[in-house]
Amino acid sequence: RMSRHAQQLRDHDINPCVAETDASTKCMDDNNYNKDMCTAYFLQYKSCRKFWHDIMMQRRRNGVKPEMPSAEERKKMLESMG
């Protein structure tokens, strides 16, 4: 059974970067944990985290709840940006 924290990390409404996390992990598994082979995946994860962190801080400043948009709401936001 997963811990509560592990469940939250897998929850698409809480963690906007589940796909990037999975891609990085898969790359590491596929490449015998050679980090150099997975730099692009790490950068995608990092930019995902930064992007949504900035959105979260903006919402917090503006008093918007919840601070992290739901998975559905994030999808619409990304679509509207192209």
Reading the chain (82 residues) residue by residue, the pLDDT tens digits are 778 888 888 888 889 999 999 999 999 999 999 999 999 999 999 999 999 999 999 999 999 999 999 999 999 999 999 8
The residue range of the domain holding 39 is 4-80
CB 38 within 8 A of CB 44: no
pTM of the model: 0.84
* Tally of domains within the chain: 1
Q: How far apart are CA 12 and CA 21, in angstroms?
A: 12
